[in-house]
Amino acid sequence: MSSLTNQSAIDYEAIRNTLSRYCVALDTKDFSLLARVFTENVVAKYPFGPALEGVEAIQAKISDRLKHITSQHALTTQTIEMAADGKTAETTTYFTGIHFGQGKWKGQQVTAWGRYVDHFVRVKADAAEDVLPGATGRWLIDKRETVFMGRLGEEGVMDGE
């Protein structure tokens, strides 16, 4: 087993911060944060449509999908496999997303369980706030596949009134 240097250990935390920022963006509906999660030319596959290309396409699709609900996304089991050159990483992160209905759906919810399978790239930071102190750069998702493992509840909450 190889030992981690302090530098690479901080990169692992930087990757976790990027994954967490995704959940914060969804739950606060601050979709501009997604530009600090994904590369500009990201390709993402979600179970609710064809692959999305580019961070703007993801922002538009997720904004539309979540417009009728409030949500709480939580990350659980996770693996991070850093490439030997330290420039890319592969992650698998399990999640639970609870989506709370509004309007006529108030009091109803749908919960999704699944995993994000991501390919990360290390990029040069544009600003100091984009880099965790001590990390070797900014870590962004270049490819994502979201896999639902189960859903439970009232699917109508996603459609709104």
pLDDT in tens, 68-101: 999 999 999 999 999 999 999 999 999 999 999 9
pTM of structure = 0.92
Query: Can you give the pLDDT at residue 5?
Result: 54
Mean pLDDT of the chain: 92
Domain tally, the chain: 1
- Using the predicted structure, report yes or no on whether residue 128 has a pLDDT greater than 70: no
Query: Can you give the pLDDT at residue 161?
Result: 74
Coil vs helix vs strand at 31: helix
Mean pLDDT of 25-46: 97
Residue at 55 is within a domain? yes
pLDDT in tens, 131-160: 888 888 999 999 999 999 999 999 999 988
Residue at 1 is within a domain? no
Domain that holds residue 67: 6-158
Residue at 121 is within a domain? yes
Query: Can you give the pLDDT at residue 1?
Result: 39
